[in-house]
A = this chain, B = another copy of it.
């Protein structure tokens, strides 16, 4: 049974194509998440959070692969679900970004790694993560030595 969503807005970023998005992402690059004006009431209180989770549809991705070779990873090949590759069965991007300002239905954010024009599916407050002491990060740790 398929699932259908209607985008709630769009990304405005300096990145014109996937090749323009740096890896790792640049936390100081400003982008905007422009939501439809109908959602204005839904943003009340979001400006008091320092970070938000943006879920977006990677509409430029036309193929998916079960294996991925992450960039700058010395030829490491892993399963797509052990990577953040956009070439996944359902190309949903999940980015945690710093929120600088909410102006009407426009979110001013930093560090978003999405191409200009990417449809946005959801925005959530970021409420915390996993303690570093409890974290193991597979092939990424091998790379970092």
The residues of A with any CB-CB pair to B shorter than 8 Å are 1-8, 35, 39, 41-51, 53, 55, 57, 59, 66-67, 78-84, 88-90, 92, 94, 96, 98, 119, 121-130, 132, 134-140
Interface of A is mostly: mixed
Docked CA distance A28–B135 (Å): 16
Interface contacts beyond A41-B79, A44-B67, A44-B82: sample of 15 additional A-B pairs, CB < 8 Å, sorted by A = A3-B119, A5-B90, A6-B89, A39-B89, A41-B66, A42-B79, A43-B79, A45-B78, A46-B79, A46-B81, A50-B136, A51-B130, A94-B124, A128-B132, A128-B135
CB A7 to nearest CB in B, in angstroms, measures: 7
